[in-house]
Structure 1
């Protein structure tokens, strides 16, 4: 099975950074359905139901997911008793102002949520510098639970180029894992 899996990326973005990051992930995956959780429709819920993979995307605000994304998670949890997302591939991505910015706690929250929904979590697998000096900037934070990015000081760019490249790699990994999971 070589067809492109349907990857849904529900996201909340305060200032546009998370959307830019989600777009790069979708690009790396060969496409994806970006769903703005502040504008979610019944058609979007249907897309989530049909998706082969769901990547949760929230900025990290004060050490956790943004309240706007939390509302989406709570709405989705209403479906929990039936486990409609059971055995779907899951992953997470986040962006914050600081290089650490306590983004790990956001990814942990998303991974636990996915586990409670019966999903299969896939993390980051890129090793950049300093281990591989020929890959400067790739997975610069050394995050393996999910994708971490730092908002760019250049607001015309939103997210630094090396983080966007890491996002494309993450999207490709999610697509490959989803294809593999669907074949088994």
Structure 2
């Protein structure tokens, strides 16, 4: 029996979050990218069938972007039936500044997952200064989920080391799905 694909549900205002979503998907095997700005009935069916949901949004003004918040509110309709209970969940966010209050955005995503009865998967990439040879990995030292930085330009680009951290996180999510999903 073939397992449903992992779904990465994301919103991207300027292309940065899309870039992280694609990097996460690189080594995940079967993945469905769901841009929540144009979500369809087929996307909702895929989210409902997926063993693992990864949530991603840019951090705007200390939280996830409003358009992603609308998705969370619509998804919350599944709460009463606990339709997403025991699914695995993970999250990522992108902002311009090294902090940029990205932790608050990840907390929003993880609390949403907890309220939905989901099981949260954090990331484990340890970079410098702990391991100097891993300079650039997990530069923000985030364990709750992936924090990434954009280039500071309106070019849709993300720091290259954050793309590598995303690929590593994607492999962890895939392994967790294979083990528990």
- Give the alignment's TM-score, normalised by structure 1: 0.94
8 Å Cα contact 1:28-1:170 kept in structure 2: no
1:64 corresponds in structure 2 to 63
- The question of 1:168 aligning with 2:167 is answered yes
Q: Any idea what the Cα deviations from partners look like across 1:110-167, whole Å, max 9, x if unmatched?
A: 0000000000000010100010011010001000000000001465561011000000
Identify unmatched segments of 5+ residues in structure 2: none
2:90 corresponds in structure 1 to 91
Mapped to 2, the partners of 1:115 and 1:160 lie a distance apart of 30
- The question of 1:141 aligning with 2:140 is answered yes
Mapped to 2, the partners of 1:118 and 1:48 lie a distance apart of 15
8 Å Cα contact 2:7-2:52 kept in structure 1: yes
Cα distance, 1:31 vs. partner? 4.1
8 Å Cα contact 1:4-1:30 kept in structure 2: no
Mapped to 2, the partners of 1:64 and 1:84 lie a distance apart of 25
Mapped to 1, the partners of 2:171 and 2:4 lie a distance apart of 11
- Give the alignment's TM-score, normalised by structure 2: 0.95
Mapped to 2, the partners of 1:54 and 1:137 lie a distance apart of 26
Mapped to 1, the partners of 2:162 and 2:74 lie a distance apart of 30
8 Å Cα contact 1:5-1:175 kept in structure 2: no
Kindly tell me the number of residue pairs found equivalent between the two proteins.
181
SS at match of 2:161: helix
SS at match of 1:129: coil
1:47 corresponds in structure 2 to 46
